[in-house]
Amino acid sequence: MTLADDAITWFDKNARDLPWRQPDTSAWGVLVSEVMLQQTPVVRVEPAWRSWMTRWPTPADLASDPPAEAIRMWGRLGYPRRAMRLHAAAVAMVERHDGRVPSDLDQLLALPGVGTYTGRAVATFAYGQRHPVVDTNVRRVVSRAVEGKPDAGPATTAADLVAMAELLPEEPARAARASIAFMELGALLCVARSPRCTECPFEAVCAWRRAGSPAMVGPSRKPQRYAGTDRQVRGLLLEVLRHETGPVPRQRLDLVWNDDVQRARALAGLVEDGLVEPLSGDAFVLAGDAPAVRPQSL
């Protein structure tokens, strides 16, 4: 038995019943889930994913609406630039791929906002291809089980992709199953703090466990603070704009935060990121909500 075999056996018995894992889920549904799950817990993503797929079951459905609607539907998932990227990717799929999510990895990676992880995840989980799919959870599992280290580095490297590829079965469908199994192990058992090693199928062979589960050397990564940050102010500003379809004067936005400098910086960041559009008269709207300018009659 290999690590992949053990992971698949465990996954078949213990996997969470998530809607984007259902056999009838489209490649578009998989892509939406992967983008939403970046930096957002499953418990918050699941209802948002269901609402999104009900409204926009295909890329063409989303592409036909302005990006402002994607930002509104994104709600409070956080990091709303992901909504803009999904909208841009949908537009690109309509223009380049007849409104379909491409199965070719290079074509996936060429879509706006689709990076190394997301492209491989869609090719693997939606199309059953053999690619190393490496996120934080997978890197931690491989680092512990194979390398005997307590955790992996802060970002995915080419070496991480190679290490994961070496663990995958040759048969594509089984390799895809192994990829999601490793990911689930990292999410449920091989967690960063208080790992549930006695429940892990790798316990007997895990290099980290056999080395005595040594602790990390050096400073630990602290959770990101939210309260009082520009992220919080950006969220408050977007919350006002999401509930309006017309121009919102700056004076109204000024009410959401009393630090003038920080509020102005957050608003400028939203404009720079393309989430918000400034209008004449010192007013603002979500991207795509700007009123059309009628040509003057001669």
What's the rounded Cα separation, in Å, for the pair 40 and 11? 22
pLDDT value, residue 153: 78
- Can you state the angle between helices 116-125 and 27-36, rounded to 10 degrees? 140
pLDDT value, residue 296: 47
pLDDT value, residue 124: 98
Residue ranges of the chain whose pLDDT lies below 50? 293-298
Per the prediction, the chain carries an average pLDDT of 93
- The answer to whether 201 and 144 are in contact (CB under 8 A) is no
Distant-in-sequence contacts of 212-219, Cβ < 8 A, 24+ apart:
213/150, 214/150, 215/150, 216/150, 216/151
Active site residues: 34
Q: What is the largest CA-CA distance in the chain?
A: 83
pLDDT value, residue 298: 42
pLDDT tens for 150-199 read 988 778 889 999 999 999 999 999 999 999 999 999 999 999 989 999 99
